[in-house]
Amino acid sequence: MTTSMPAPQFADPAPAQRLERAAAALAAHGFTVEILDDVAAARARVQELVPEGAAVFTGASETLRLSGIEADVNTGGRYEAIRPRVLAMDRATEADDIRRLIGVPDVILGSVAALTETGSLVIASGSGAQLPAYAGGAARAIWIVGAQKVVPDLDTALRRVEEHCLPLESARTQAAHGWPSAVNRLLVLNAEPYPGRGTVLLLREAIGF
Q: Which residues, including other chains, have CB under 8 Å from residue 35's CB and lie 6 or more apart?
A: 19, 20, 23, 202, 203, 204
Rounded Cα–Cα distance for residues 118 and 112 (Å): 15
Q: Please provide residue 68's backbone torsions phi and psi, each rounded to the nearest 5 degrees.
A: 90, -5
CA atoms in the 13 A half-sphere facing the CB of 53: 0
The whole-number pLDDT of residue 34 equals 98
Q: Please provide residue 102's backbone torsions phi and psi, each rounded to the nearest 5 degrees.
A: -75, -35
Task: State the 10-residue block means of pLDDT for the chain, 209 residues long.
Answer: 58 97 98 98 98 97 97 97 96 94 98 98 95 98 98 97 95 90 96 97 97
Q: Which CATH superfamily is domain 8-203 in?
A: NagB/RpiA/CoA transferase-like (3.40.50.10420)
The whole-number pLDDT of residue 1 equals 37
The whole-number pLDDT of residue 9 equals 81
- Residue 53's nearest CA partner among 77, 87, 85 is 77
The whole-number pLDDT of residue 3 equals 42
pTM value?
0.94
The whole-number pLDDT of residue 120 equals 98
- Residue 153's nearest CA partner among 203, 200, 115, 107 is 115
Q: Please provide residue 30's backbone torsions phi and psi, each rounded to the nearest 5 degrees.
A: 100, 0
Question: How far apart are the two ends of the chain, measured CA to CA in Å?
Answer: 17
Cα–Cα distances (Å) from 169 to 58, 59, 124, in that order, read: 17, 14, 11
- Residue 209's nearest CA partner among 87, 81, 115 is 115
Tell me the domain boundaries of the chain: 8-203
- The residues pairing with 80 across neighbouring beta strands, listed in sequence order, are 55
The whole-number pLDDT of residue 85 equals 96
